[in-house]
Amino acid sequence: MEPILYAHEIGEGLPILIIHGWQLEGKADEVDFEPIFSKTPGLRRIYVDLPGMGRTPANNIKNLDDIYDRLVQFIDSRLGTSRFLLIGSSCGGYLARAIAQKYNGQVDGLLLRVPLTEPEDSKRDLDPFKPVLTNEELISNIPPKDKELLGDVLVQTPAYVNALKTKFEDVYLPAEKASDSDALDPIRGDPRRYRLSISLDAKFFAPTLIVCGRQDGSVGYRDSLRLLELYPRSTYVVLDRGMHGLPIDEHGVFGALVRDWVVRVEEWRHRLAA
């Protein structure tokens, strides 16, 4: 029998379900989170591939509700009544909020990285792109093929450009190649299909981390400010020089925030146990 979702598990202990962004795969999140979690004992990381992405076939998904339903089936079969943590990036953050709401009594922590909060592109509150550091000579010397690949470069330094190129080549391009565009494009192109039918307005009280990019040109950061009222135990951070793919060349602050979240989760769990 074919598994509901392909998943790569690393480590043992408290489960963390990690949900990637649109047209990506679990490996994409491994790149950013494993350098942190590999040094944090007692965590069982579960990197899923959503339907039509990575190694999970689309199997007739028609909308985001179908993807949410597959996640629910996966959780019920893989985790049952176990307590667990949740991480979601971009569209995965939108889905993670729905999962946290459904499994409120089981989820001991929620981490949202550059979360999608407004599914309809035209309604998002975005700023026009403007580099935070310019270097015309550097940009002019980038080969045309790389320019097309990288698009607008936010931080125009050799280190940033190299890190951005590496992330495209090692993470984004392989994931895009592995994805089922025939199944995904009609969903992404239709605001009605790319929106969950359930309302996400319930409060969630476990420790939460919300990390946004100040220069995120995909989902922005202002739309997610309203999440502060729904997550009373949230640390809300807007990182300067942060685009939608953060972190790119600077992992220290991101790592510190994630580790702080893990500490707050441990405090929460000890209190519940007491």
**What's the pLDDT tens digit per position in 183-239?**
999 999 999 999 999 999 999 999 999 999 999 999 999 999 999 999 999 999 999
Q: Is 90 left (phi over 0), alpha (psi -120 to 50) or beta?
A: left
**What band does 110 get if pLDDT is binned at 50, 70 and 90?**
very high
**What's the pLDDT tens digit per position in 233-256?**
999 999 999 999 999 999 999 999
DSSP string, 142-163: S-HHHHHHH-S-SB-SHHHHHH
**What band does 108 get if pLDDT is binned at 50, 70 and 90?**
very high
**What band does 267 get if pLDDT is binned at 50, 70 and 90?**
very high
Fold of the 7-273 domain? Rossmann fold (3.40.50)
Sheet strands side by side (includes 208-213): 7-10, 43-48, 14-19, 84-89, 107-113, 208-213, 234-239
Residue 2's pLDDT is what? Answer: 64
**What's the pLDDT tens digit per position in 9-53?**
999 999 999 999 999 999 999 999 999 999 999 999 999 999 999
pLDDT over 70 at 1, yes or no: no
% the chain with pLDDT above 90: 98
CA 124, 239, 46, 230 torsion: positive or negative?
negative
**What's the pLDDT tens digit per position in 126-154?**
999 999 999 999 999 999 999 999 999 99
Residue 3's pLDDT is what? Answer: 75
Residue 274's pLDDT is what? Answer: 84
All structural domains of the chain with their residue ranges: 7-273
pLDDT over 90 at 269, yes or no: yes
Average pLDDT of the segment spanning 76-81: 96
**What's the pLDDT tens digit per position in 118-128?**
999 999 999 99
Reported pTM: 0.97
% the chain with pLDDT above 70: 99
Residue 59's pLDDT is what? Answer: 93
> Structure tokens of 134?
């310019």
**Residue carrying the six token digits 């607008």:** 152
Q: What is the Cα–Cα distance from 114 to 112, expressed in whole angstroms?
A: 6
